[in-house]
């Protein structure tokens, strides 16, 4: 067996095909015939191939590489097919690897010794007729030398060989077409590298500040295109997290906790000279697109992206915090509104009031300027009528107005939902 391998290797041509002329070579496609120059090249290089071998019912050109494990595994199958159908099938193995490399690979694999497949090494020209990147790359030709199929190795089965020999080539075999101009050193799909820019099924990206774009955030569902999308342009880190955690987006600063993170970093400077540098350091754009059936995980995926990129950990959780709590002190006082058109003057000048509006509206105004979360524990639902002082943040005047309605503000420790942003490696702060 070793003697046979040695003979086979000796028969392998040593002269590189690069020395042959490659002028005027055009890739061949389905339905085109192998040109005389290519046939002559095969006969010259694939010893001991004969002219009659190229006229068998089925000619398979197997482009392979010594680094391709599946290619090497397929050689015994190819050899057995050629032996069984020797009058009807011819296989030629073609590689750009040098003969010495092929000799070494075959010598190191017992299963490859004793094969009788014609072999072309040092190929630079035949591959130009059939350009390929991924191997195995199989070209199937009929007895007239016409290309009938170009496939990957998955189509190389005995049933497929029998089917072709008995009934001809079945329609529907996809044509294997490797992308020739893909540059793996460049981003995939950018400037159509490796495919069209619109070919992605899932994409997330983060950029630095993008001058000229407005600052905005939005969520879109495209039922026609089948995609769900989150996008934010020129946003600060807290703003990005508010998009990822929409339930917390309107929470006041008292319910947003920073651990190992300085919130002042995200406040723009007042002087114009420093503003541009601040933008480049603190504004980012983000986009996430995924299949529409995964839309429920949009926000979670965005949060994970932000955590990875910024080295942070954002989440919502319950914390025990000291809160300003609105409670009832006299349940006999009726607070239900007498009705009428809902109105309020909480943000206007002069005395403040609620007319047929809920207490939650008042609490939201108070919480906007409170260092503590403001919580309603009155149990009152629906609209109320209440007169309030002109300055809602005058605690004494406000307490007097609330007392008239059997209400009071108390400091009470509460379990409350908060958003927490922690820097990686920072110890969790204990809130007292």
Q: What integer pLDDT is reported at residue 151 of this predicted model?
A: 96
Q: What integer pLDDT is reported at residue 56 of this predicted model?
A: 95
Q: What integer pLDDT is reported at residue 17 of this predicted model?
A: 43
- Domain borders along the chain are 2-167, 200-310, 320-422
Write down the pTM of the prediction.
0.70
Q: Which two tokens stand for residue 2?
A: 């070793």
Domain 2-167 has CATH 3.90.1150.10: no
Concatenate the DSSP letters of all residues of 74-134 into one string: HHHHHHHHHHHTTTTEEEEEE-SS-HHHHHHHHHT-GGGTT----EE-S-SSHHHHS--SS
Q: What integer pLDDT is reported at residue 308 of this predicted model?
A: 96
Rounded CA-CA distance 31/164 in Å is 16
Show the beta-strand stretches assigned E in 125-170: 137-142, 147-152
- 296 sits in the region (left: phi over 0; alpha: psi -120 to 50; else beta) called alpha
**Cα-flanking dihedrals φ and ψ of residue 34, to 5°?**
-65, 120
Q: What integer pLDDT is reported at residue 14 of this predicted model?
A: 33
Per-residue pLDDT of the chain (432 residues; tens, 9 = 90+): 333 333 343 334 333 444 445 567 899 999 999 999 999 999 999 888 999 999 999 999 999 999 999 999 999 999 999 999 999 999 999 999 999 999 999 998 999 998 989 999 999 999 999 999 999 999 999 999 999 999 999 999 999 999 999 999 988 899 998 888 888 888 888 888 888 888 889 999 999 999 999 999 999 999 999 999 999 999 999 999 999 999 999 999 999 999 999 999 999 998 888 999 999 999 999 999 999 999 999 999 999 999 999 999 999 999 999 999 999 999 899 888 999 999 999 988 888 999 999 999 999 999 988 999 999 999 999 999 999 999 998 999 999 999 999 999 999 999 999 999 999 866 554 444
Q: Distances from the Cα of 205 to the Cαs of 198, 226, 256, 294, 296, in angstroms?
A: 15, 19, 26, 18, 19
Q: What integer pLDDT is reported at residue 272 of this predicted model?
A: 85
Contact 259, 428 (CB under 8 A): yes
CB-CB neighbours of 22 under 10 Å: 10
CB-CB neighbours of 2 under 10 Å: 9
CB-CB neighbours of 271 under 10 Å: 8
- Give the count of alpha carbons within 13 A of 381, CB side only: 1
Q: What integer pLDDT is reported at residue 23 of this predicted model?
A: 62
Q: What integer pLDDT is reported at residue 432 of this predicted model?
A: 40
Rounded CA-CA distance 126/93 in Å is 11
Rounded CA-CA distance 38/15 in Å is 17
Rounded CA-CA distance 323/320 in Å is 9
Q: What integer pLDDT is reported at residue 10 of this predicted model?
A: 35
Contact 117, 11 (CB under 8 A): no
Q: What integer pLDDT is reported at residue 22 of this predicted model?
A: 58
């Amino acid at each position: 067996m070793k003697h046979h391998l040695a003979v086979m290797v000796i028969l392998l041509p040593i002269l590189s095909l690069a020395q042959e002329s490659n002028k005027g070579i055009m890739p061949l496609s389905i339905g085109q015939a192998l040109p005389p120059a290519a046939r002559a090249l095969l006969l010259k290089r694939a010893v001991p191939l004969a002219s009659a071998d190229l006229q068998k019912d089925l000619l398979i050109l197997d482009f392979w590489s010594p680094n391709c494990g599946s290619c090497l595994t397929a050689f015994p199958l190819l050899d057995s097919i050629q032996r069984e159908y020797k009058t009807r099938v011819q296989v030629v193995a073609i590689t750009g690897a040098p003969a010495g490399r092929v000799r070494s690979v075959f010598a190191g694999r017992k299963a490859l010794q004793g094969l009788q497949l014609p072999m072309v090494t040092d190929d630079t020209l035949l591959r130009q007729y059939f350009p390929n990147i991924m191997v195995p790359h199989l070209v199937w030709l009929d007895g007239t030398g016409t290309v009938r199929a170009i496939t990957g190795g998955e189509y190389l089965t005995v049933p497929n060989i029998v089917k072709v020999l008995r009934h001809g080539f079945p329609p529907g075999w996809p044509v294997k077409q490797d992308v020739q101009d893909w540059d793996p050193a460049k981003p995939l799909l950018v400037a159509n590298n490796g495919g069209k820019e619109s070919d992605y099924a899932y994409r997330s990206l983060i950029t630095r500040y993008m001058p000229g774009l407005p600052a905005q955030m939005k969520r879109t569902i495209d039922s026609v295109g089948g995609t769900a999308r989150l996008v934010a342009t020129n946003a600060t880190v807290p703003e990005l997290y508010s998009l990822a955690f929409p339930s917390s987006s309107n929470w006041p600063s008292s319910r947003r906790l920073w651990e190992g993170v300085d919130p002042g970093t995200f406040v723009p400077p007042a002087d114009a000279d420093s503003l541009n540098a601040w933008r480049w350091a603190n504004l980012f754009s983000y986009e996430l697109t995924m299949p529409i059936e995964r839309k429920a995980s949009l926000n979670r995926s965005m949060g994970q992206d932000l955590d990875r990129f910024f080295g942070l950990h954002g989440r919502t959780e319950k914390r025990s915090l000291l809160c300003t709590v609105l409670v009832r002190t006299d349940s006999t006082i009726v607070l239900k509104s007498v009705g009428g058109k809902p109105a309020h003057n909480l943000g206007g000048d002069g005395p403040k009031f609620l007319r047929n509006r809920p207490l939650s509206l008042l609490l939201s105004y108070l919480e906007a300027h409170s260092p503590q979360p403001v919580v309603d524990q009155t149990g009152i639902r629906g609209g109320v009528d209440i007169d309030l002082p002109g300055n809602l943040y005058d605690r004494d005047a406000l307490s007097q107005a609330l007392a008239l309605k059997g209400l009071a503000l108390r400091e009470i420790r509460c379990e409350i939902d908060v958003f927490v942003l922690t820097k990686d490696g920072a110890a969790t702060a204990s809130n007292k």
